[in-house]
Amino acid sequence: MSTDTGQTSAEALDARVPGIRVATANGRAWKDLLIQVFQRNSHQDCLLIPAVPEPLIVWVLSGDANVEERELDGQWVAHQVTAGDFFLTNAPQPYELRWQARGEQPFTVMHLHLGLTLLQRATIEVLGEGVHLALRDASGEKDPVLSALLEPLRTELMSPGEPSPLLVQGLAQSLAVHLVRRYGSASEAEPRARGGLPAFKLRRVTEAMEAQLDQEFQLEKLARSSGLSEFHFARAFKRSTGYTPSQYFIRLRMERARQLLRETDRPVIEVALEVGYTSASHFSQVFRREAGVTPSEYRGRN
């Protein structure tokens, strides 16, 4: 399922993350709001989270995990999280995540992107006209009011019947007001732009990359899918991810290769072929440059 991109640009950016997508919001009830529920794999290596305009809430539904985050090439900061903990991210730059779940319970999370139109209306109501909103980030915190607003949204999403637009929109508006009141402040300066591509365009591009990991990199085709020239697309993409499109494509290949090496017994050459390398030696060279070890060494450590 997918949202109507005419309603909001808040699209999921992490369909490629190993795990199961349990549910995705879809339809008119979810205008200005995107919610997805994921059951994550217990272990995730370094994962790039692109910068997008919309603030993101990640709410832990079940499981316990050690989650680490950092700015690109920065120091890792660890957070021990359990059900009810949440992350609020409004970063102007891409960042990286990794995690290790503990115990038998599945590590399940809900992602919520709040549409900018909704947030702007809440900002005007709470802080006044002509005010720029500054939202602080939150990592591994608890907020009973936030949880009380997210739980009925999760229930509407998971219920078999049609969600109530009145209920969903009322909860979304309450959520926006709560975020501005609790985590927002007025700023005289206009906030730095977050990312160069709207989230729905970035998702479209990264999904196209994911579907073609075994093929040659095609900048022209990717730029066309975003409705931009190759020059403007490459510049906007790097602003969102910190990488050129070709560098990001290689990174996706290596993420997929690590998953296959960790979770299957397939020969290294088969893994290489699946991610677009016909030569095992070339694949090993690129993998070592990205991961710091050869494919065989990586498999032996996991």
Residue 231 belongs to domain with CATH number: 1.10.10.60
On whether residue 265 sits in a domain, the answer given is yes
Average pLDDT over residues 258-283: 93
Most confident of 16-30, 83-97, 194-208: 83-97
**145-154, 166-175, 254-263: the lowest-pLDDT one:** 254-263
Cβ-contact 197, 236 below 8 angstroms = yes
- Does pLDDT of 14 surpass 50? no
Is there a single domain that holds both residue 32 and residue 145? Answer: yes
**Other C-beta atoms within 10 Å of 252: how many?**
18
- What pTM, to 2 d.p., does this model score? 0.73
Is there a single domain that holds both residue 101 and residue 231? Answer: no
Is there a single domain that holds both residue 262 and residue 151? Answer: no
Cβ-contact 248, 49 below 8 angstroms = no
Q: 28-76 pLDDT, tens per residue?
A: 888 888 888 988 888 887 778 888 778 889 999 999 999 999 988 789 9
On whether residue 9 sits in a domain, the answer given is no
On whether residue 227 sits in a domain, the answer given is yes
Q: What is the DSSP letter of 164?
A: P
How confident is the model at residue 22, as a pLDDT?
A: 86
How confident is the model at residue 191, as a pLDDT?
A: 59
**23-37, 141-155, 185-199: the lowest-pLDDT one:** 185-199
How confident is the model at residue 195, as a pLDDT?
A: 61
We report the CATH number of the domain holding residue 167 as 2.60.120.810
DSSP string, 245-295: HHHHHHHHHHHHHHHHHHH----HHHHHHHTT-S-HHHHHHHHHHHHSS-H
Please return the burial class of 12, using the count of CB atoms within 10 Å of its CB with bins 0-12, 13-18 and 19+.
buried
Residue 252 belongs to what domain range? 199-301
Could you give the CA distance from residue 17 to residue 245 in angstroms, rounded to a whole number? 18
Mean pLDDT for all residues in the chain? 86
180 closest CA partner among 139, 141, 109, 131:
131
- Does pLDDT of 149 surpass 70? yes
- Return the structure tokens found at 25: 């919001």
On whether residue 14 sits in a domain, the answer given is no
Could you give the CA distance from residue 80 to residue 117 in angstroms, rounded to a whole number? 33
Q: 77-132 pLDDT, tens per residue?
A: 999 999 999 999 887 788 888 899 998 899 999 999 888 889 999 999 999 988 88
Is there a single domain that holds both residue 97 and residue 228? Answer: no
- Return the structure tokens found at 2: 């997918």
On whether residue 165 sits in a domain, the answer given is yes
Is there a single domain that holds both residue 43 and residue 155? Answer: yes
On whether residue 13 sits in a domain, the answer given is no
CA 135 to chain centre: 18
Is there a single domain that holds both residue 25 and residue 84? Answer: yes
Q: Which of 187, 221, 252 is the last residue in one of the domains?
A: 187
User: Which residues fall within 8 angstroms of residue 148, CB to CB, at 6 or more apart?
Assistant: none
Is there a single domain that holds both residue 220 and residue 86? Answer: no
Q: 222-261 pLDDT, tens per residue?
A: 999 888 899 999 998 998 888 999 999 999 999 899 889 9
Detail the DSSP E strand segments found in the chain: 19-24, 33-40, 43-49, 56-62, 64-71, 77-81, 85-89, 95-102, 107-114, 132-135, 138-142, 184-187
On whether residue 48 sits in a domain, the answer given is yes
Number of folded domains in the chain?
A: 2
On whether residue 7 sits in a domain, the answer given is no
How confident is the model at residue 25, as a pLDDT?
A: 81
Is there a single domain that holds both residue 173 and residue 257? Answer: no
